Structure 1
């Protein structure tokens, strides 16, 4: 069973390029977390956040204050240990379907370390490592290229997979079909 680490910024400062209200930012994170919790290969979901208002059934790893993505991932990895396969899943995948994450993790089980590039092919939404193997990551601009340079295997997923569909901008949000129920409800309330 996989341990997933999901770093989540506080909703009032998260997703600055999206320009969204905190309710929508929180809904995007919760839809991502809910999909991870519903994925059969996932045994544990660690949400690393300093957002005290984030209500989820996942295990919260509390940060005193937001310290950045790299620090949040390090905190999650320290909590996860090395006894199980681990993955870092970014918390901005509001259309994520459990069956798509299940397939990504099935493919990740065949390689020591792997990653999934985002829909543009330049960023990264998921990084994986088998039990006992260091999970190395290089999230940020041009992270897909940097993950290739770190010799992580690129996990090529079936067409239509929702794992690459992160949402950083209003245009990406508008282009994403099949949004999770919390995100869809927030958008509907904002439009009303």
Structure 2
């Protein structure tokens, strides 16, 4: 079974506003993190397509260089609106929305989570802190409604999504908004774009 994975991505100018790394350009770092996330998702065996929802021209250009990934314009209706737009364009019955700030993500960890979601009509994977949602899945046709925002893991659970028992060590659960979170993710191994940018910053 193949999945459509939707990844909403903010503009790099507005994204990662809390992520300040000495010597690193924040918009470029946000771009690297997003594209590493998209590339990892597109290389997962269970993923048939990645649909990136974004209005950022640099993200769009980067996505066009990644096999298995396409982009559509962000309708400008918040993260949940972007998720809805991507889900409506998805071509596989099994659909998921994933955050675009997972620079340590590996295809194997995404495949593991999607395998766990296969037996569930709806499911959610919380972030490492347990309050946010990094992956939300649907296995049945019909309305697909995401509930990202404050305490989104609880909101998805209240909406009938099964909380998947994905290990805390999974790279899927390591979303990055701060320098401290990036440091933790780096210990797991970052994607090539993020790694190259941080190495250049350290060398500057």
Q: TM-score, normalised by structure 1?
A: 0.94
Structure 2, unaligned stretches of length 5 or more? none
Tell whether 2:154 aligns with 1:145. yes
Q: CA RMSD in A?
A: 1.5
User: Which has the larger helix fraction?
Assistant: 2
- The 8 Å contact of residues 112 and 133 in structure 1, kept in 2 or not, is answered as no
Q: Which residue of 2 aligns with 1:23?
A: 28
Q: Which residue of 1 aligns with 2:194?
A: 183
Q: State the Cα deviation string for residues 83-126 of structure 1 (Å, max 9, x = none).
A: 51000010000000000000000010010000000000011100
Question: Which of residues 89, 93, 109 is equivalent to 1:79?
Answer: 89
For residues 163 and 133 of structure 1, do their structure 2 counterparts lie closer, same or farther at Cα, with a shift above 3 Å needed? farther
Q: Secondary structure at the match of 1:27?
A: helix
Alignment of 1:91-130 (within 5 A): 91-130=100-139
Q: TM-score, normalised by structure 2?
A: 0.88
For residues 71 and 181 of structure 1, do their structure 2 counterparts lie closer, same or farther at Cα, with a shift above 3 Å needed? same
Deviation at 1:190, TM superposition (A): 1.2
Deviation at 1:159, TM superposition (A): 4.6
Q: Which residue of 1 aligns with 2:74?
A: 63
- The 8 Å contact of residues 113 and 135 in structure 1, kept in 2 or not, is answered as no
Q: Which residue of 2 aligns with 1:173?
A: 182
